[in-house]
Amino acid sequence: MTITEKIKQAITALKAGQLIIVADDANREAEGDLVGFGSFASPENVNFMTQHARGLLCAPIGREIAKKLDLLPMVTHNTERYGTAFTVSVDHKTTSTGISAFDRAKTIQALAAADSQATDFERPGHIFPLIAEDDGVLKRRGHTEAAIDLTRIAKVTPVAYICEIMKADGHMARYQNLQQLAKDWDLPLITIEEITAYRQLLQTNTQASPVTEQVEVKLPTAQGDFKLRLYTEADGTEDLVLIKGEPWQVKAPFVRVHSECLTGEVFESHRCDCGEQLDKAMAMIEEQGAGAIIYLRQEGRGIGLLNKLKAYALQEQGLDTYEANERLGFAPDARDYSVAAEILDQLGLSKIQLLTNNPDKIKALEAHGIEVVKRIPLETTVYAENYGYLTTKKNKFHHQLVL
């Protein structure tokens, strides 16, 4: 398994609320930690850590979280051998004693919650936040930085929870022990060395080119005949471009930047408007005779299929799509349009007419040098099942919709 595949496997597990093992460098502490994402902390995982890992349960956080929650260093002069940046310990104000697995999970979740404030936490407490260096493992090769680097790769709130793994006899588990424990516990095992190599690979590839064209084929469709190109991002993500005619010969061609939606496009779900938007965009571009659709693999506004379905489950309990994403620990919209801008640049499309209802998409593309000379509305059928979803789009995401 390649380093990229191992990191992706670990990220998938973490975003599903599972734990992974991260091993330290042999010439450093040579230890391993159980690691989870703070947004998905659960009493079961906290209990597993305390029973099986046996070390000190801490919560790595990004510097921006420390600033937001007023989490100050535990000591003025840090003399710890590896410079671990402990802050004052905390408990969430709604906990009881703060020490139970349930209380500690609640505190960790609150550290990652978008609406948490400094006054929501009592000091001292039973969770020990650790501030990660801004440049992560490229600056400091510790478990704190490794955990926060993984959150940033996964595009979730930069809060994690970790616990050192000790053997039953009280000695620290070393790499051979960790390999066996990974098998016994059925958890992914990665190393800080691999996270470092992955980040360096991303950095190198991004400096060269964020996306690379791989192949182009003909694609006859119900809406007309197109060409289909596949591009790969630095991390291996595969994006698609549907091209009609020669849009680079047009002054400002029709362009749609569309994020993947399996439920709406394959199963024609009425919970959203994605499938109909894609079909309508293809038909409109076919009618124009030239244009392009950038198809980004950003399922569920960037949170992935599993978490999108978890968001659906929360919506069935009364939350809207904005609130559900936040409850899961994500930004309401975690999508990134820099790759779309790079693809448009490679296609020679610097001026476009954008098929969208989303003003933020226009701002994002323009911030990356693409001139949107006109917005073309892309409204679809309003169903009883998606009326609330579309209303939330209009009221909270500021989409320009007529309902």
DSSP output for 273-292: SHHHHHHHHHHHHHHHT-EE
Report whether 64 belongs to an annotated binding site.
no
Report whether 257 belongs to an annotated binding site.
yes
Three-class DSSP category at 232: strand
Report whether 356 belongs to an annotated binding site.
yes
Q: Shortest CA distance to 33 belongs to which of 195, 189, 193? A: 189
The one catalytic residue in 335, 336, 360, 375 is 335
288's CB contacts (< 8 A; 6+ apart) are 244, 253, 254
Report whether 125 belongs to an annotated binding site.
no
Report whether 258 belongs to an annotated binding site.
yes
DSSP output for 101-139: HHHHHHHHHHHH-TT--GGGEEEEEEEEEEEPPTTGGGT
Q: Shortest CA distance to 354 belongs to which of 334, 340, 336, 335? A: 340
Report whether 212 belongs to an annotated binding site.
no
192's CB contacts (< 8 A; 6+ apart) are 22, 23, 24, 25, 137, 141, 142, 143, 146
Encoded amino acid at 31, one letter: E
CA 8/CA 4 separation, integer angstroms: 6
CA 86/CA 60 separation, integer angstroms: 9
Report whether 141 belongs to an annotated binding site.
yes
Structure tokens at 260: 């993947």
Encoded amino acid at 63, one letter: R
Report whether 321 belongs to an annotated binding site.
yes
Report whether 216 belongs to an annotated binding site.
no
For residue 343, which phi and psi values (nearest 5 degrees)?
-65, -45
Report whether 104 belongs to an annotated binding site.
no
> Is 81 a catalytic site residue?
no
Report whether 274 belongs to an annotated binding site.
yes
Burial letters 247-264, b for 16+ CB under 10 A, else e: beebebbbbbbbbbbebb
Structure tokens at 136: 């992560």
CA 197/CA 69 separation, integer angstroms: 32
The one catalytic residue in 104, 225, 333, 345 is 333
Report whether 272 belongs to an annotated binding site.
yes
Report whether 375 belongs to an annotated binding site.
no
Three-class DSSP category at 21: strand
* C-alpha pair distances (Å), 281 with each of 125, 149, 247, 362: 54, 37, 15, 16
> Is 63 a catalytic site residue?
no
Cβ-contact 346, 214 below 8 angstroms: no
Structure tokens at 330: 């994500």
Report whether 123 belongs to an annotated binding site.
no
Cβ-contact 143, 192 below 8 angstroms: yes
Report whether 163 belongs to an annotated binding site.
no
Report whether 58 belongs to an annotated binding site.
no
Report whether 229 belongs to an annotated binding site.
no
Cβ-contact 85, 130 below 8 angstroms: yes
Report whether 361 belongs to an annotated binding site.
yes
Report whether 81 belongs to an annotated binding site.
no
Residues annotated within a binding site for D-ribulose 5-phosphate? 28-29, 33, 140-144
Residues annotated within a binding site? 28-29, 33, 140-144, 256-261, 272, 274, 277, 299-301, 321, 356, 361
Residues annotated within a binding site for Zn(2+)? 261, 272, 274
Residues annotated within a binding site for Mg(2+)? 29, 143
Catalytic residues: 333, 335
Residues annotated within a binding site for GTP? 256-260, 277, 299-301, 321, 356, 361
